[in-house]
Amino acid sequence: MKKVIGYCDDWSAVAGGKIDFKVSTYGPERFEAQLVRVICGDAHPDHGIFKEEEIEAPFNGTHDGWTQPVNAGSRAVVPASPVLAGLESFTVQAWVFATTPGRGEQGIVTQWQENPARGFALMLDKDGAAMLRVGDGAGQVAEVSTGLPLAARRWYLLTASHDAQSGQITIRQTPGPTALEKFSSGEATATGAFSAADAPLHFAAFPASAGDGHDRHFNGRIDRPRLSKVVQSAAESSAIGAHTDPAQDHDDVVAAWDFSQAIGTQEIRDTGPNALHGRTENLPSRGCKGHNWTGQEQNFAHAPQEYGAIHFHEDDLHDAGWQTSFSYAIPSTLRSGVYAVRLRAGEDQSYITFFVRPAKGQPTEKLAFLASTVTYMAYANYQWHQHQHFAEVTEDFWTVLQPVDVFMQKHPEFGLSTYDTHFDGSGVRFSSRLRPIFNAAPGTPYWSFNADTHILGWLDSQGIAYDVITDEDLHREGAAALAPYRAVLTGAHPEYYTTPMMEGLHEYIAGAGRLIYLGGNGFIWRCAMSEAAPGVIELRRAEDGIRYRDEEPGEYYLELTGEYGGLWRRLGLPPQALVGVGTVAVGFDVSGHYLRTPQGDDPRAAFIFEGIGRDEIIGDFGYLGGGASGSEIDAVDPLLGTPTHALVVASSVGHSPNTLLCPDEIGFTNNVMDGVQNPKVRADMTFFETPGGGAVFSVGSIAWAGSLPHEGYDNNISRLTGNVLRRFLDETPFEMPVSS
């Protein structure tokens, strides 16, 4: 079991800058920290290629450790105000779409404080029925429940009220209109004393009953919550619940929150007279269909009145919010690279990975390694294989649980990846690096950080110097982040790209830039980042592609940017139009190898095969499936934009029956034509020049990186990669042929 874990405040650090590290221990009162440069993170005992270099740093040594809590679960909070503290009679209501009714008490709208109990809570009881709880601050707590559990994933209007004169409390649940179903309405009354709390108001949670944080989180959607200072009839509350701005027509409205406003931020707005605005916490999902969605509009920006819901989850997490254990003032002389703080407590060991780039505009080398940090975030704390019934059949290998997998099962508060589903079955749309991430560190599985360290280890073995820049640098700075470099080298799986990243890379390639794409399944999905949610990516997998879960219909537009999500191929910029190749097939059991094609004999490509025989098998070895072409593979497609002058210098063969075309490559069924029978199942090694004197070289395979270390990095994959890199670093411009 894990004894020490941590994270840092920024993955992309600058030489001369500062970075904070946050550490938590589980049992030990002390831990050791050591700065290391990551050279190769593959710690498989049979490979013998793990390599790290210990670096002097002021924080190296022993530190005090303590357990730092994680306050997971999304909610929205409105600060305490005299208006809320002055409530006497009231009606509170909200449209509610519960996804896990019956999972214990869950707060819907709560203005509550404990010891002594005071305030109100519109909530679900332990069985999933609508309930109102009130407290008088003198030890008296009263409750009233409809006793009718809500149907899961169906809309209800929940209304609760307290009459200060009679002491009557009322709860009412009214199902939304449905065409083919009928659910029971319910209403119940009781008597109870109420005294307003001098406390914040919460949506989708209670304040914690003890200590910091929150508890009794709600799973599901809340739409149009309202608060009035009188007791309303069923007809009156229904009218207010249907009104987009009820304060205009109802003088007794205290607050009317409209969650369709400020989508893409963490702000929630009150359109009522008291401006009781608030903020969301832990990134619940917005831009969500409300109770009145008609299906006539798919873009929340075009019909905001139908997208007034927020989807809350008990397992959402943005920022773990830990205290800083120690900081590091990065020397301006520290070489650019991939680094980690190695943490040790007893027999346990963890790493906190980060990336050091040169000062902006001051490159130290001609080559940049572009670390796929957005893709690392997409896979952060990936647990799909632990919960999917058919994971082993889908991925063609046994699921082997590591100690960290057991730890994550015991500690779900550390959050999920975009490949997972929330506890309520809805897809995870956000992933954050502001939390411990267990699979982006040395000694962890290849997917997807450690596959890239095979490339870093190869660069080290060849004595090739490089700077490191990250996806976030590219997102913030565009082509300017790449412009100082003669050549840019990708990792094994640069899958996820924001629009600024895609535009920046395209601009670099269209100029004098030279790009070496040493991977597969790259540049596939549009995702989003925003300063409104630091350290976070958002992903909505619209319509097509290799999807481990379906996206909710009508919710394909990204909340953070308003852009349509999904495959870049469906958005008009297929990877073939960027790097010549795009993903065609997937297979995780056996990898193939490459054979040179007739186009590989073109004089333009002669530099690629120096020292490699004409009929030599290329890459029939490697750590991913035993070959250089595998896992996820890319091929050319002129219809999708492969440049007409691009050379396919080699193509792969030897794929297994379990290597199949990906969904966006087929129109009907995929159960016959496999990697043995289908000639489309192949990786194309591709080269082409660009108008500005640059060029692009693509291998089209994730498994390529895993072949580089074979025989001590002395093999034809290593040789070929070195040939390309040397030519790409040569200042001699490439000459672009005229297309016929």
The C-alpha atoms of residue 305 and residue 260 are separated, in whole angstroms, by 7
Residue 414 in this model has a pLDDT that exceeds 80: yes
**The pair of three-digit structure tokens given for residue 374, joined into one six-digit string:** 């957005």
The C-alpha atoms of residue 32 and residue 13 are separated, in whole angstroms, by 22
Output the pLDDT for position 181.
86
Of the listed ranges 69-78, 201-210, 602-611, 645-654, the one predicted with least confidence = 201-210
Q: What is the mean pLDDT of residues 365-378?
A: 98
Residue 740 in this model has a pLDDT that exceeds 60: no
Phi and psi at residue 146, to the nearest 5° = -70, -25
For 681-691, write each residue's pLDDT tens digit: 999 999 999 99
The C-alpha atoms of residue 167 and residue 176 are separated, in whole angstroms, by 29
For 116-129, write each residue's pLDDT tens digit: 999 999 999 999 99
Residue 536 in this model has a pLDDT that exceeds 70: yes
Residue 679 in this model has a pLDDT that exceeds 90: no
Residue 212 in this model has a pLDDT that exceeds 80: no
* Neighbour tally for 513: CB within 10 Å: 24
Confidence class of residue 664 from pLDDT cuts 50, 70 and 90? confident
% of the chain residues with pLDDT over 70: 97
For 278-314, write each residue's pLDDT tens digit: 999 999 999 999 999 999 999 999 999 999 999 999 9
Nearest to 218 by CA among 275, 267, 141, 282: 282
Residue 612 in this model has a pLDDT that exceeds 90: yes
Output the pLDDT for position 454.
98
For 392-410, write each residue's pLDDT tens digit: 766 676 777 778 888 888 8
Q: What is the mean pLDDT of residues 560-567?
A: 97
Output the pLDDT for position 563.
98
Nearest to 542 by CA among 556, 553, 529: 556
Confidence class of residue 448 from pLDDT cuts 50, 70 and 90? confident
* Amino acid, res. 173: Q
The C-alpha atoms of residue 197 and residue 121 are separated, in whole angstroms, by 11
Residue 670 in this model has a pLDDT that exceeds 70: no
Angle formed at CA 451 by CA 57 and CA 324, multiple of 5 degrees: 35
Cβ pair 450, 706 in contact under 8 A: no
- Give CA separation, 712 vs 50, 58, 369, 460, 462, in Å: 12, 34, 21, 12, 11
Nearest to 625 by CA among 718, 716, 698, 710: 710
Output the pLDDT for position 674.
79
Output the pLDDT for position 675.
76
Domains of the chain: 4-70+320-360 (2.60.40.1930), 75-312 (2.60.120.200)
Q: What residue has token string 């409530």?
A: 87
Mean pLDDT, all residues of the chain = 95
Residue 694 in this model has a pLDDT that exceeds 90: yes
* Amino acid, res. 80: A
Residue 211 in this model has a pLDDT that exceeds 60: no
Range among 1-5, 384-388, 607-611 with highest mean pLDDT value: 607-611
Residue 671 in this model has a pLDDT that exceeds 70: no
Output the pLDDT for position 301.
97
- Chain mean position to CA 461: 33
Confidence class of residue 637 from pLDDT cuts 50, 70 and 90? very high
* Neighbour tally for 617: CB within 10 Å: 16
